[in-house]
Every structure is written in structure tokens, then in C-alpha cells.
Amino acid sequence: MTVDTPFASPPRISILVSDLSKQGAGRWGGAVRTFLLAQALERLGAQVTIYGFIFGDDPAEPTVGNFPIVTVPGAYYPEFIRRSRELLRHLDTDIIYALRPKATTLGLALWHKRRTGCPIILDIDDWELSWHGGDRFRYRPSLKQLARDILKPKGALRYPDHPLYLRWMEAQVSKADAVTVHTGFLQDRFGGVNVPNGKDTDLFNPEGYDTQLSREVHGFSKYRILMFPGAPRPYKGIEDVLKALDLLNREELRLVIVGGSPYDDYDQDLRRRWGRWIIQLPPQPVTKMPFVVAGADIIVVPQRETPAALAQFPLKLTDGMSMAKPILATQVGDIPEILQGAGYLVAPEAPEAIAQQINWILEHPEEARQRGALARQRCVEHYSLDAMSHLLAKVIQSLPLSPHG
């Protein structure tokens, strides 16, 4: 696929990421927004390079694509200024694609634009301030606390992505030449073009995988499997599914969780409380996820209605859709629009309704199969990497001509 652009040759696009460590954008083997954008842009013929900082641990080793990745060790202020200059010296690009409105991404992109005129696309795939109280966030320290936050070697205000700086950077969103988002919630808040996360529907194709073999390899053969193919967090509603399993009390049912929380011991707490229902698999590279998903009877996406959930596009939803699995999800955010009758919906935080729908799906296998097939069709048409590429082509075409072109 090719696209007309204001450039004489395929554009060089630099994706600028805040943290490319194993706990940052590098987690899940590349199955996050950074690498989905890179794959979609590559399908347009763009030359994509990923740039970013490494905060805390080793750089990740993505298992998708073959993109050049340039990293610089992250640092606190004032050392961060020097590290930023070092990263910007590597940039040789027609377009900067800054991921999220942060000092570590949009801030650097604006700095580079002032010197070169290089156009900026800003991608917003999460509402960062929602983790810090959202619009209620206030930074009102005492003088003593302010001094500590500034002067201590790791004082709070020395961290480049402190929520105060996040608020400041949100005020700079309009300075980007284009904005992309991936949910209606974020589009309502920040504007821009809605570019939902695409799925590699060739990789995630049920015709390429043996369901029974997957069940045998992963130890599912004795059970009817509900699967949550991601890391559990409170807003993702896993507890509601486990409460539904308590209500059903059917020994043949199990909930498979793929991966664990990279932030805390929440998944361990789930196992302490509901261990009888849980099978937990280690994190899987994206290339192996279709084989894992192939073994599921139902994919569950039980999001709760919180700002964090509303701001995110649940990748596990398209995992199941692309693999033609029955989807049991909640009426939260964009999920009803994404599925449009190609799944089963219940209200959020409703274990009784989840239990009823689990029974219904298992007792009506032909209907469930038909909805799964419809879900795959919708995924190919609207939520594939090709669909993502078409939307990005229009964004690129809207950009002003760069001096680099």
C-alpha cells in the first residue's frame, strides 16, 4: 500500500516514546500502541524509527517488526536536559510522532520543531492525569515540601513526567500539527482523528491454529475456558468475572489470565481470593498470543466504568474478535460501538448478569460461533492494521510541508 504525501519520497517518521523499557512501551513484546502505529505506518511505505528513553531497567526486545530503535538512558532533572539533547541529536526525520502529551515526548518534539520546523503528530492513547485524580489534580505543596521536591536528588519535581508537568503539557496539545486518539472519550477531550488500535488479522487468524492442540498444550483440556488475555488491573473488572464464577459454582469453568500486573501484586491478590477458578499463564510474545487465544471458549472484557477504562482501547477485545471467539464484555466506553452486535454485552460491575451470559453462551454454541464469525469480520473491516493505515494516511496528508521534504 502506498499513500500520496507532501514529500518527494516515502516520509521518514520518528516515533518518540517516553519509556522503552520492559515496564514501559516495550512490554508485551511489542503488542502496544507504539508498535501498532509503527506497523501501520510501515504499510504506508514510511521509514519508521522508534526513539525513546529507558527509565529504570533494560530496553525491551520487541517481537514484532524490524524497526530501528534508538534509546538514551532516562534521567531526572537537570540531567534530563542533557539526555534530551542527546536524543534529539539522533533525529533525522520528516515527521515526529510523539506518543502522549508528556515532557519526554511532546515537549521534546516541540523543542525540535522550533529549531527545524519539523511537523508533529501527537498520539494520545491514555489520559495520563486520570492516574493522578484527573481534573481534580492539584499540586499545592508547602514551601518546605516544594523545596524537597526541587532540591532532593530524586525530588518529585525532578521526575520529567510528574503530573504537574503532564497538566502543563496537556495545555500544549493544540501546538501539534495533528492529533490522533483511539477512543471516543479521548477524542471528546482532546479532539483529533480517532485511529483505533489495529490488529494483525493475518497473524490472528483462527484458520491457522488448532484449538484442541492449544487446549492440550496449555492444560485447558478438562475445562470450559473464559480467557482474559492481558494483565489484570482493578478497573478491568476481573473480580466481577470471578464473582460470577462463584455464583455459577461449575467445576468445569476456569478463568485464564495471560500475564501479570507489571506494577504491583494485584494478580497475586486475585489468586489468594479466587485461586480455585484461575489459571495464570506467563506473559506471551504477540506472535504466540493467537495460539493461546485459540484455546478459549469465551473472551471476557469486563471493563468497569472509570476514567482509566474509558480512555483505553482494550487490545484484548480485538484479540478475541480477530480469532472469531465469542466476546463477553461490558457496556463501557467504545466497546458497544466496536462490537455492534458481534458479542454479548452486560452492564459494568454486574456479576449476576455475567453469570447469566456465561451460561447462555455455553448453552447456545451455534449462536456463539456465528457472533464470533461476525466479530472477526468487523475486526478485519474496521480494526485491522490495514484499516489503521488508511486513517493514518489521511493524517499524514493533512500535515504542512516540512523543510525536510
Q: Which of the four pLDDT bands, split at 50, 70 and 90, describes residue 351?
A: very high
pLDDT-wise least confident of 53-67, 129-143, 183-197: 53-67
* CATH number, span 12-198+386-397: 3.40.50.2000
Three-class SS string for the chain? Answer: CCCCCCCCCCCEEEEEECCCECCCCCHHHHCCHHHHHHHHHHCCCCEEEEEEEECCCCECCCCCCCCCEEEEECCCCCHHHHHHHHHHHHCCCCEEEEECCCHHHHHHHHHHHHHHCCCEEEEECCCHHHHHCHHHCCCCCCHHHHHHHHHCCCCHHHCCCCHHHHHHHHCCHHHCCEEEECCHHHHHHHCCEECCCCECCCCCCHHHCCHHHHHHHCCCCCCEEEEECCCCCHHHCHHHHHHHHHHHCCCCEEEEEECCCCCCCHHHHHHHHHHHHEEEECCCCHHHHHHHHCCCCEEEECCCCCHHHHHCCCHHHHHHHHCCCCEEEECCCCHHHHHCCCCEEECCCCHHHHHHHHHHHHHCHHHHHHHHHHHHHHHHHHCEHHHHHHHHHHHHHCCCCCCCC
pLDDT of amino acid 223: 97
User: Distance from first CA to last CA of the chain, Å, rounded?
Assistant: 20
Confidence of residue 142 (pLDDT cuts 50, 70, 90): very high
pLDDT at position 65 is: 64
CATH number listed for the domain at residues 206-383: 3.40.50.2000
Entry pTM: 0.88
- pLDDT higher than threshold 50 for residue 1: no
Averaged confidence pLDDT in the chain: 90
What is the dihedral sign for C-alpha 380, 20, 62, 260? negative
Average pLDDT for 111-130: 94
The predicted-structure confidence for 246-255, as pLDDT tens digits, reads as follows 999 999 999 9
User: How far lies 319's CA from each of 103, 261, 303, 315, 316, in Å?
Assistant: 32, 19, 15, 6, 5
Q: Residue 261's pLDDT is what? A: 72
pLDDT of residue 42: 93
Q: Determine the angle formed by the axes of helices 238-248 and 266-274, rounding to 10 degrees.
A: 10
Phi, psi of 255 (to 5 degrees): -105, 120
pLDDT band at 58 (very low <50, low <70, confident <90, very high): low
Instruction: Tell me the pLDDT band of 28, cut-offs 50, 70 and 90.
Output: very low
Q: What percent of the chain is modeled with pLDDT above 90?
A: 77
Per-residue exposure over 174-211, b if at least 16 CB sit within 10 Å of its own CB, e if not: eebbbbbbbbebbbebbebbebbbbbbbeebebeebeb
pLDDT in tens, 10-21: 899 999 999 887
So where are the chain's domains? 12-198+386-397, 206-383
CB 159 within 8 A of CB 76: yes
Q: Do domains 12-198+386-397 and 206-383 have the same CATH topology?
A: yes
Copy the grid coordinates of residue 7.
Answer: 514529500
- Of the two residues 95 and 25, the one the predictor is more confident about is 95
